[in-house]
């Protein structure tokens, strides 16, 4: 009997460190798999999320109404918009030619494109050249700080002015 007990003790004593080592290795490999899955998901999220910016924002402020005296038609080439002020009314018309996208210039009769000769009247309607469509008008509003805000994502009916 004493011999059996010693043999069982020895056997269990010999297996215990092995089992502990196995459990530790299993735990470590599980932790490693879990960690690599989390890292992989995070890196996929970073990869999928677009980090590119596509040009300027389409909604922007252009300053206070006082900066645009009545009777002016001011082209903001970097914004590709012409600000029109008539009395207390303000509007914004695109200056991107509807033919192939050149910047049209302000002319006596409206707008003229230097690239292929398209011409537009004061309201942006096509009066000559290859341009297929009139120049769009954009939504104009007053920002909370009192500046004129233009939203190029929102086209409005030609002749839509903001009263300031
Ligand atoms: S781009 Fe203006 S006429 Fe061609």
- Tell me the pLDDT tens digit for each residue of 37-91: 999 888 888 778 777 767 778 999 999 999 999 999 999 999 999 999 999 999 9
**Both 4 and 67 in a single domain?**
no
Rg (CA), the chain: 35
**Both 47 and 124 in a single domain?**
no
**Both 44 and 77 in a single domain?**
no
**Both 156 and 93 in a single domain?**
yes
Picking from 116, 148, 110, the residue whose alpha carbon sits closest to that of residue 130 is 116
**Centre of ligand 1 from the C-alpha of residue 91, in Å:** 23
Atom of ligand 1 nearest to the CA of 101: 1
* Helix or strand (DSSP H, E) at 50: none
**Both 37 and 110 in a single domain?**
no
In angstroms, rounded to a whole number, what is the distance separating the alpha carbons of residues 15 and 35?
Answer: 30
Checking if the pLDDT of 128 tops 50, the result is yes
**Both 40 and 74 in a single domain?**
no
Residue with the nearest Cα to atom 1 of ligand 1? 100
Checking if the pLDDT of 145 tops 60, the result is yes
**Both 128 and 86 in a single domain?**
yes
The domain containing residue 4 runs over which residues?
1-52
Higher pLDDT, 22 or 103: 103
Percentage helix, strand, coil for the chain under 3-state DSSP, each rounded to 5: 30, 30, 40
Structural domains of the chain, count: 2
What is the value of pTM for the model shown?
0.68
By most ligand atoms within 8 Å of CB, the mutation choice from 80, 96, 99 for ligand 1 is 99
The domain boundary, picked from 16, 37, 52, lies at 52
Per-residue pLDDT reduced to its tens digit, 103-120:
999 999 999 999 999 999
**Both 39 and 85 in a single domain?**
no
CATH number of the domain where residue 88 is located: 2.102.10.10
């Amino acid at each position: 009997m004493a011999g059996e007990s010693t043999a069982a003790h020895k056997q269990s004593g010999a297996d215990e460190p092995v089992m502990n080592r196995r459990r530790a290795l299993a735990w470590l490999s599980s932790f490693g798999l879990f960690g690599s899955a989390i890292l992989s998901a995070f890196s996929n999220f970073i990869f999928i999320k677009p980090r590119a910016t596509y040009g300027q924002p389409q909604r922007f402020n252009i300053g206070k109404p006082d900066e645009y005296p009545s009777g002016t038609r001011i082209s903001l080439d970097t914004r590709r918009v012409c600000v029109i002020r008539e009395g207390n009314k303000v509007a914004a018309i695109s200056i991107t030619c509807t033919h192939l996208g050149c910047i049209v210039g302000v002319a006596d009769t409206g707008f003229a494109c230097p690239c292929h000769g398209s011409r537009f009247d004061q309201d942006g309607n096509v009066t000559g050249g290859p341009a297929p469509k009139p120049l769009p008008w954009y939504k104009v509003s007053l920002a909370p700080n009192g500046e004129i805000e233009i939203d190029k994502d929102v086209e409005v009916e030609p002749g839509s002015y903001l009263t300031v």
